[in-house]
Structure formats: structure tokens, C-alpha cells
Copies of this chain bind each other. A is one copy, B any other.
Amino acid sequence: MKTLVVCSGGMDSVTLAYHVKRERELTRLISFDYGQRHKKELDFAAMAAADLEVPHEIIDISSLAKFLTGSALTDDIEVPEGHYAEENMQTTVVPNRNAIFLTIAFGVAAGEKSSAVAAAVHSGDHFIYSDCRVEFIDAFRTMQNLALEGVSEVDLYTPYVNSSKADIARIGAELGVPFEKTWSCYKGGDRHCGRCGTCVERLEAFHLAGAKDQTVYEDTDYWRQVCPV
């Protein structure tokens, strides 16, 4: 089943790419340049595609950046530190980002005659990203079936929608994903900061999964202060 993977270069979507490569016919990885402050993640997505021997396409929608405002991921707002469940993480919401990525991915899939778009949304995203919840995924699938009726049949494949990030770390470890070749940090330093929401979530996930993580972090202890483990 021909499937393309929406890949940010983070551990979730890279794990998903390895997962699809094993189970299905992986056609390509697609990433988005949406005017994010740090484009480092795109290099990690390209690296994953090279390792998986599939094409990598960066779709440039950076002209949208000036409209999708008010987010620490695109604007000059300080990236918040701490746990995702906290109030300040709202500044990492880019309005409608997932819905935009997914409709474009469905257009690409229809164009290349793929049967599915795979996306690595997981239950840890549900707290703050409303467009990562099961209800959204179901409604999105219904909308797409109607939009492409008579044109193309494309399904949305989200195997981690009810899984935690720790589950993904476990699955990735089994698949032999080289986690040190994935990038999560919202800050754009040389190394993962260990303090922003996504670094904290990443460190916690590896701890819970008991999985090995070769990633080098600036701060390896901070996450313990903010996580209830």
C-alpha cells in the first residue's frame, strides 16, 4: 500500500517513517517550510529520507508565515520551558497547522496515486493541539473522503493517535531508529536544550520507555523537575 509520511524530522515522525517502510510501500517523506524560526528539523527529515532511500520533498508554504501569527514557533516570542501540560505551551500553537499540512499531503498523495498519508499525531499532543485529537482525525478523514470522491482514494494512517510518546520511543527502539538523527528541540541551538516543551517530553518518553537515547542535551536534569515521574 503506497504511503507517504509527513515528517518533521522529530522522533515521532521519523519512527513512523521506519514503521511504514517495514509495513507498507513508503513512497516519500514530505516536510513543510512554514516559516518556522528554526529550519534545522528539515535537515533531519532529509537525513531520515536518505537513510530510508526514499525521496524527500520540502513544500514551501513560507509565504503563509506572516498570517499564521502569535506562535513562538514562527514569531519572535520566547520559546517556553517546562511541561506540555502547562498553560504557557499555548504559545507553541500555530493556528490550523496540522489541517493545512494534511490537506496538502492529501493533494500530493492523490497526485502520486498513493493510498495513504501517514501522520505521527499521538496522545501526548492532545492536551494543547486540538488538531491532533482522535475526533479531529476522524472528522478530517470524513472530509477528505468527500473532497476526493471520484478523484482518488486516500486514507489517513495515524497508528500512534492513541499511543503515548513513550510508546513511540519503544516502537522506535524495536525498529532500530537512530534517535540521535532526529531533532525535537524548539530552540535552534547546536544541541537539544533539554528545557523546552518538546525536549522535556522527549526525555520523559525515553525514560518511561527504558529506551536508549544517544542524543546530547544541554541540560539533562531539568525535565525531572517538571515531569511527574
Pick the residue among B59, B60, B135 that contacts A146 (CB under 8 A): B135
Interface contact A67-B136, CB-CB below 8 Å: no
Say whether A178 faces chain B, with CB atoms less than 8 Å apart. Answer: no
Copies in the complex: 2
Q: How far is the CB of A188 from chain B (nearest CB, A)?
A: 23
Interface contact B146-A136, CB-CB below 8 Å: yes
Pick the residue among B61, B68, B96, B130 that contacts A150 (CB under 8 A): B130
Given contacts A93-B151, A136-B146, contact A67 B107 (CB under 8 A): yes
Pick the residue among B59, B135, B139, B152 that contacts A139 (CB under 8 A): B139
Q: How far is the CB of A64 from chain B (nearest CB, A)?
A: 6
Say whether A147 faces chain B, with CB atoms less than 8 Å apart. Answer: yes
Q: How far is the CB of A56 from chain B (nearest CB, A)?
A: 13
Give Cα A150–Cα B127 distance, bound, in whole angstroms. Answer: 11
CB-defined contacts of A108 to chain B, threshold 8 Å: 64, 67-68
User: Interface size class for chain A?
Assistant: 35 or more
Say whether A224 faces chain B, with CB atoms less than 8 Å apart. Answer: no
CB-defined contacts of A100 to chain B, threshold 8 Å: 100, 103-104, 107
Q: How far is the CB of A217 from chain B (nearest CB, A)?
A: 30
Given contacts A104-B100, A149-B130, contact A112 B143 (CB under 8 A): no
Pick the residue among B107, B133, B135, B136 that contacts A95 (CB under 8 A): B107
Interface contact B146-A133, CB-CB below 8 Å: yes
Please give 11 more A-B residue pairs, beta carbons under 8 A apart, in addition to A68-B108, A68-B111, A142-B142.
Answer: A59-B64, A61-B61, A61-B63, A95-B110, A95-B148, A95-B152, A96-B147, A99-B107, A130-B146, A130-B149, A133-B146
